[in-house]
Amino acid sequence: MHINSEIIFITDSDGQFVSSDFWRLYKELEDWDVIIGWKQNRGDPIWRKIIAKGYHFLVRSVFGLPIHDPNTAFRIIRKKVLDDITLETNYLKYSFWTEFTVRAFKKGYRITEVPINHKNRLHGKSHIYSLNIVPQMLIVQIIGLFKLWRELKSPN
C-alpha cells in the first residue's frame, strides 16, 4: 500500500460522524496503534442498533475483544498495522473493520476506543445495511466469524 503518512485517519462519507471528534482520537495516538471511535447515541434505526449490539457482543465473546464497536469506520491507524493486516482480511464481507480489529488485537497491536458522536443520516440510505438483506447478511457474517475463529485458533 503506497501511503506516505505514518498515521491514517479513516471515516465514512455519509455525514453521521462529527469531524471534530477526530481530535478526541488523535489525543490518544501516543499510546495506541489503533484508536477506534465508539459511537454514542447511535443515530441509526432501532433494528440496526439491535443487530449491531448483538453482533458486537458475539464478536467480543468469541474473540475476547475488549472493544464495544469494532466495525466503526471512524478510526486512526498506524501505517504499520494497516500494512500488516489489510491483505489478510477476507472473511467478513459486510464488516471489514471488525475483521481488521480482531486481527490487530490477536497480533498484539495496542487498540483502544474513544467515545464519539454519531448523528442520524440526513440524506440517502445505506445500500449495504438495508432491512431486506439482513437475513442473508447475518448468515454470511456468522459463517465468516466461524472461519476467522477457526483460522485464528489454529497453531499455524
pLDDT tens digits along 79-108: 999 999 988 999 998 899 999 999 999 999
- Asked if the model's pLDDT at residue 127 lies above 60, the reply is no
Give the number of residues written for the chain: 156
pLDDT, residue 128, reads: 60
Q: Could you tell me if residue 108 is inside a domain?
A: yes
Query: Is 89 within the bounds of a domain?
Result: yes
Total structural domains within the chain:
1
Which domain range does residue 122 map to?
7-153
Enter the pTM of the model: 0.90
Q: Has residue 1 been placed in a domain?
A: no
Q: Going by C-beta distance under 8 Å and a sequence separation of 6 or more, which residues neighbour residue 39?
A: 69, 72, 74, 116, 118
CA distance 125 to 50: 18
Question: What is the residue type of 75?
Answer: R
Among 1-5, 37-41, 64-68, 107-111, the least confident range: 1-5
Q: Please report whether residue 2 resides in a domain.
A: no
Give me the CATH number covering residue 23: 3.90.550.10
For residue 143, the model assigns a pLDDT of 96
Looking at the domain assignment, is residue 77 inside a domain? yes
Q: What gap in Å lies between CA 2 and CA 116, rounded to an integer?
A: 29
| Rounded CA Rg of the chain | 15
Task: Write the pLDDT tens digit of every residue in 10-48.
Answer: 998 878 899 999 999 999 999 999 999 999 988 888 888
Rounded-to-integer distance, Cα 101 and Cα 74, Å = 12
- Given a cut of 70, is residue 55 above it in pLDDT? yes
> Residue 83 is placed in which grid cell?
500494512
What gap in Å lies between CA 97 and CA 141, rounded to an integer? 13
